[in-house]
Amino acid sequence: MTSRVTWEDLLKEYSEDGGPGQLWRLEVERICRYRIRQKQNLMLPAELFAFVDWDSEDLAQTVITERLLARGQAQYIVDTVDNIEYARKLISNEVAYTLEDRRVPNQVDNVWLNLEPKLKEAGWRNTTSGLGGGLEGEDAQVREIARKILNLKRLRNQGQQRLSPLFSGETLMGFAETIVRDHPGASAFVIQKALRTALSRISPRVSMEAVGSTQEEFGAVAGVGALQWADNLDASEGISEHARRIIEVLGAEGSEISFLIASGATQNEIAGVLGVSRPTAIKRIAQTQELLLEALNSLELGEEENLKILGEVFITLGVGITDGVLVK
């Protein structure tokens, strides 16, 4: 077990060096590695965030120079923080903001552009006062709204159109009415955060080209919770990595078929999404299921591990989960 840096260590280094030093850089890079693993598990390419490839040192250097130093965020952390956990949370925010600043225009922007006027039509008014329940209340609302987004009926894949619509106008109108009814105090910030959370899983898999995401990870929606900093942080990496490789084996069409099956779609509905006849769809469904089974069997793991991996596959593909039940 490696020794852990303390907040006092960071404070001392900051005071002696007149700014972030080696210990700060190591902390930033560690958090960058975590964020990069999230993006890789989502199969989001580095190019979507204006990087040549995923490199934790490169990202960490950008965070330090553009956020901690240029924007004075390191001094802000020193002035406001009193423990290492809070410091890491704020540094994690800076990593997220760095990625947000560098991302290309994405599907979140596209959906929000179409959703906002429907929200206003349904009677929604943007608020800036928050929930009154602090960050925990806000995070809970984001998770709930994100689940509802995952369960919206999606439009058929529009092929090469990079930002093809995900939802019909009717679907978005219904969603807007749901927000007004169930979350009348939800601000634009909260709704957009929920969109980022959900669409980071959905949008890379519904167009032929990957589309972007922002800083919000899907872990909160899946019930994983906030960043964990235990020494065994990487213990669950194997499940995500197996799921990612299985999705690669399935390919774009196999992934969409798996999503539809898990969502309870009929054979006719799957045929419609694929744009093929029902007999052809049945054949492709069988091929996809065979591929999935072969991929799981090749891991030579037990039934319990296979179920966890399969669950992660479905989560990654964007199947909604409510109380442990797959829903669409």
- Confidence at residue 291, expressed as pLDDT on a 0 to 100 scale: 86
Q: Which of 237, 109, 126 is CA-nearest to residue 162?
A: 109
Report helix, strand or coil for 215: coil
Beta strand extents in 186-323 (DSSP E only): 320-322
Long-range contacts of 184-192 (CB under 8 A, 24+ apart): 184/124, 185/127, 185/131, 186/124, 186/127, 186/141, 186/145, 187/126, 187/127, 187/128, 187/130, 188/116, 188/126, 190/131, 190/138, 190/141, 190/142, 190/145, 191/112, 191/115, 191/119, 191/145, 192/108, 192/112
Same domain, 323 and 240: yes
- Confidence at residue 164, expressed as pLDDT on a 0 to 100 scale: 55
Domain of 23 in residue numbering reads as 7-102
Count of structural domains, the chain: 3
In a domain, 315, yes or no: yes
Name the pTM for this structure.
Answer: 0.44
Contact between 142 and 215 under an 8 Å Cβ cutoff? The reply is no
Same domain, 26 and 90: yes
In a domain, 73, yes or no: yes
Same domain, 135 and 182: yes
Domain stops at, among 57, 73, 102: 102
Distance, CA of 290 to CA of 105 (rounded, Å): 37
In a domain, 113, yes or no: yes
In a domain, 213, yes or no: no
Contact between 220 and 315 under an 8 Å Cβ cutoff? The reply is no
Distance, CA of 237 to CA of 244 (rounded, Å): 11
pLDDT digit of tens for each residue in the chain (328 aa)? 345 789 999 999 999 999 999 999 999 999 999 889 878 776 677 877 878 889 999 999 999 999 999 989 999 999 999 999 999 999 998 998 888 777 765 677 778 888 999 999 999 998 754 444 445 567 788 888 988 887 787 765 543 344 456 788 888 999 999 999 999 889 998 898 888 777 765 544 332 222 222 222 222 222 222 223 223 333 345 777 888 888 888 887 888 788 777 766 778 877 877 778 889 989 988 888 888 888 888 888 877 787 778 777 776 666 544 444 444 4
Same domain, 98 and 138: no
Q: Which of 208, 205, 233, 232 is CA-nearest to residue 219?
A: 233
Same domain, 112 and 145: yes
Q: Which of 71, 35, 68, 72 is CA-nearest to residue 54?
A: 35
Task: Give the CB-side neighbour count of residue 276, counting CA atoms within 13 A.
Answer: 14
In a domain, 2, yes or no: no
Long-range contacts of 21-30 (CB under 8 A, 24+ apart): 24/64, 24/68, 24/74, 25/60, 25/64, 27/87, 27/88, 27/91, 28/60, 28/63, 28/64, 28/68, 28/91, 28/94, 28/95, 29/56, 29/57, 29/60
